[in-house]
Structure 1
Amino acid sequence: MLLAIDVGNTNAVFALYDGLEQLSRWRISTDPRRTADEYAVWLDQLLTMQNFDRKAIKNVIVSTVVPRAMHNLSQLSQKYFDADLLIAGRAPVEWGITVDVEEPSSLGADRAVNTIAAHHRHAGDLIVIDFGTATTIDFVDYNGAYKGGIIAPGINISLDALVNAAAKLPRVAIEVPEGESHNVIGRTTESQMQIGVFWGYVSLIEGLIERMKQQIGRPTKVIATGGLAVLFDGHSDIFDAVETDLTLGGLALMVHRAGL
């Protein structure tokens, strides 16, 4: 079995794979100070609860945008799984794609892995939107090459900035505002904030994706992923598919292709 780890700025997601089949997944807050032993205790409890044998895990692969987390994850892999940590993008699990931008080395690991997984699952030109701490919108051409994209503040960051900068505004939940979707005139401070944050963000992503499609100039599918993708699914017709585990699936695919 394979343990795939996707470390974002806010959360780290661990998933267990048998080949390309996901068996289970677990989420924990990202903390670069969390030790290998702490990870092991947490994981061992979850594996035991679901009747998985830790000794059956033969490979561990990670994609991370938090370099400080790498050391402890490497220790986890070596000490508890007796395996060298596989790092997405480095031998023997290189990208295997063309990164056609001015600074290829600056491409985030999560975006590269999303490119690999999206092209494997969908034909043609693709736009991949990943809702995380930041929202990234990437163009993957029909050959599977990464061609560039957009980075925007995530919806949580946008709400935090609003609340922290305005002393009298309360913190509100990020959710679909109550009432009909065409109602964008709030009657309370809280409803006005929810409308501004939610529908404002829907307008942001719809507008950016439409501009990107115009620039691409060819029929293009839109694939949404990330923990907040389901929040917007059903409230916009911009998505052709929602795949919440695209990054983890890409990691499993990289190990599979490497024959490990």
Structure 2
Amino acid sequence: MILLVDVGNTNIVLGVHSGGKYIAGWRISTDPKKTSDEYSIQVTQLFAQNNLKPLDVEGIIVSSVVPNIMHSLENMLRKTFNINPILVGPGIKTGINIKYDNPKEVGADRIVNAVAAHEIYKRPIIIIDFGTATTYCALTKSGNYLGGVICPGLKIASEALFERAAKLPRVELEKTNTLICKNTITSMQAGIVYGYIGQVEYIVNRMKKEMIELGEEEPFVLATGGLAKLIGDETNVIDKIDAQLTLEGLKILYEKNKE
């Protein structure tokens, strides 16, 4: 049984994999103020609710884009599971070639997604991760990670509109039936959601063009992240939504580095 941990700016996603399948999964809030003991209580309770024993965990791998949480989180994992976790970062075996100007700048989440996409799909691919930030990554068939785009996520865009415009309210991220809206709330929802869809379509089509100019076949477009379905249902530029992509990448990286 292995524990997969993906630390994002908003949530920490945990998955337990055993016997060739996922047997449990949870999403908890990312909170740098929590101590290792507080995280330990929370994770131990989650294991107990699923009739799982922490000492049955044989290995742990962690991907994080939140450096100031790692001291508490690593301490918690060592105390709760009596295991030194594998950390996704410089020096880890990935099976892909990172062509960034400075490979150390590439976020761990982007590396994990790229590893999963390359191992599973074996084709030129554009990966869109709809998280706190939305990232677009270009990967060749041979496994060269070319780079990509980082944009404010949907929730960031929505919060910015609420915080910076005095008369505009905070709204839920929902699709509207029309674009010609007749009240402030639906007008904001339409602008945020459909404006973002337009952004996705432009960036994907431009990235496809650049990859084809480099000699790649037309890339497959893969989306993941909490808001992937909201956008993916309204555009034909996304070929597939894979909600488990990051956990799959962590599992693959664990197998490559467990020795």
TM range (shorter): over 0.9
Q: Which runs of 4+ in 1 moved over 4 A?
A: none
Aligned partners of 1:21 and 1:163: how far apart in 2? Answer: 42
Aligned partners of 1:90 and 1:151: how far apart in 2? Answer: 21
Indicate if the aligned counterparts of 1:88 and 1:95 stay in contact, CA closer than 8 A. Answer: no
Could you report, residue by residue, the CA deviation over 1:67-96 in whole angstroms, capped at 9, with x for unpaired residues? Answer: 1111111111211111112101355x4333
Indicate if the aligned counterparts of 2:93 and 2:256 stay in contact, CA closer than 8 A. Answer: no
Q: Secondary structure at the match of 1:215?
A: helix
Counterpart for residue 65 of structure 1: 65
Aligned partners of 2:35 and 2:233: how far apart in 1? Answer: 40
Counterpart for residue 8 of structure 1: 8
Identity among equivalent pairs (%):
39
Aligned partners of 2:34 and 2:19: how far apart in 1? Answer: 28
Counterpart for residue 52 of structure 2: 52
Give 1:25-174 correspondences, 5 Å limit: 25-90=25-90, 93-174=92-173
- Give the deviation of 1:245 after TM superposition: 2.1
Letter aligned with residue 63 of structure 1: S
Over 3 Å counting, the alpha-carbon distance change for 1:19 and 1:254 in structure 2 is farther
Q: Structure 1 stretch 19-28 or stretch 201-210: which is displaced more?
A: 19-28
Aligned partners of 1:4 and 1:35: how far apart in 2? Answer: 20
Counterpart for residue 184 of structure 1: 179
Aligned partners of 1:100 and 1:55: how far apart in 2? Answer: 39
Q: Secondary structure at the match of 1:17?
A: strand
Q: Secondary structure at the match of 1:25?
A: strand
Counterpart for residue 252 of structure 2: 253
Aligned partners of 2:188 and 2:148: how far apart in 1? Answer: 29
- Give the deviation of 1:20 after TM superposition: 4.9
- Give the deviation of 1:259 after TM superposition: 4.5
Aligned partners of 1:106 and 1:192: how far apart in 2? Answer: 37
Aligned partners of 1:221 and 1:112: how far apart in 2? Answer: 17
- Give the deviation of 1:137 after TM superposition: 0.3
Counterpart for residue 223 of structure 1: 222
Aligned partners of 1:259 and 1:214: how far apart in 2? Answer: 38
Counterpart for residue 201 of structure 1: 196
Aligned partners of 1:155 and 1:39: how far apart in 2? Answer: 28
Name structure 1 gaps, 5 residues minimum. none
TM-score, normalized by length of structure 2?
0.94
Aligned partners of 2:173 and 2:208: how far apart in 1? Answer: 28
Match of 2:209 among 203, 209, 214: 214
Letter aligned with residue 88 of structure 2: A
Give 1:227-238 correspondences, 5 Å limit: 227-238=226-237
Work out the number of aligned pairs and report it: 255
Indicate if the aligned counterparts of 2:40 and 2:77 stay in contact, CA closer than 8 A. Answer: no
Name structure 2 gaps, 5 residues minimum. none
TM-score, normalized by length of structure 1?
0.94
Indicate if the aligned counterparts of 1:3 and 1:17 stay in contact, CA closer than 8 A. Answer: yes
RMSD: 1.4
- Give the deviation of 1:123 after TM superposition: 2.1
